[in-house]
Amino acid sequence: MMMHQTLTQLRALKLDGLATGLEEQLGLPGMAGMSFEERLAMLVDREVHHRNDRKLMRLLKNARLKYGQAAIEDIDSRPGRGINRREVMSLALGDWVGAGHSVLITGPTGAGKSWLACALAQYACRRGHSVLYQRVPRLQEELRIRHGSGTFGKWLLQLAKTDVLVLDDWGMSTIDSQTRSDLLEMIDDRTGHKATIITSQLPIEHWHAWIGDATIADAILDRLMQHHHRLTLTGDSLRMKVSVQPVHLSTAPQSP
């Protein structure tokens, strides 16, 4: 009865990991031979892992990654893809997020740019960093809505606190003057403090022309290129192609 009350109180205090660990200990006869300090240490460890798991789930949910299950452990580095596995792992395990570096991923359509960006972002979440994924073609409309509703300023402040911003499909569609200015504001707030991942089919040397305004383009590229890591993917599209199976017609004579 007393233990049931203790478990209820632990859950009321939102110590679910500790409560679950205690329930498990009660069901294991071998625990009787352990000291109080050992059992307590195991319970605290269980609570810490439980909280870390909850935090990770929250970070991944808020990130809204296009490929939420992408993981750096699953990187396809076969010849012809332009991916140096050791280089990518060194980047992921390094301090690029804390140092506020940019990661610029370019390559042809279907080469896996978005997947790689999501894998790096997912690992950043696993290390406790906040992430937000945005597709640039859709971002333009979202920015227009935020300006119209008067929420752009508040959103910009929130974005400036996000550890990793993923801008996917950079350069895929034309942008207007307002979006150019907004992109500069977003990137300027992050320079040297927060990390940014950009994926694009356009080679980096064409970004200036895509942005359109020479002054703003200079300012954006100057900030992105201060401290950056460049990954250039190559090879054919990895997207599954639907193959049409030929229909074989029988030429055998039919029975009357």
pLDDT digits (tens, 9 = 90+) for 33-42: 677 777 777 7
244 Cβ contact partners less than 8 Å away, ≥ 6 residues apart: none
Locate 190 and state its tokens.
């992050």
**Of 206 and 50, which is predicted with more confidence?**
206
DSSP bridge partners of 134: 167
Confidence grade of residue 247 (pLDDT, cut at 50, 70, 90): very low
Checking if the pLDDT of 80 tops 90, the result is: no
* 29-77 pLDDT tens trace: 766 667 777 777 777 777 777 777 888 899 999 999 999 899 888 888 7
| pLDDT (average), residues 209-215 | 93
Backbone φ, ψ for residue 18 (5° rounding)? -65, -40
Rounded Cα gap, residues 249 and 247, in angstroms: 6
pLDDT band at 256 (very low <50, low <70, confident <90, very high): very low
| pLDDT band, very low/low/confident/very high, at 78 (cuts 50, 70, 90) | confident
pLDDT of 248 over the 90 cut:
no
Dig out the tokens for 175 from the structure: 């942008």
For the purposes of burial, counting CB atoms within 10 Å of the CB of 62, is it exposed (0-12), middle (13-18) or buried (19 or more)? Answer: middle
136: left (phi over 0), alpha (psi -120 to 50) or beta: alpha
pLDDT of residue 1: 65
Pull the structure tokens for residue 244.
């049409």
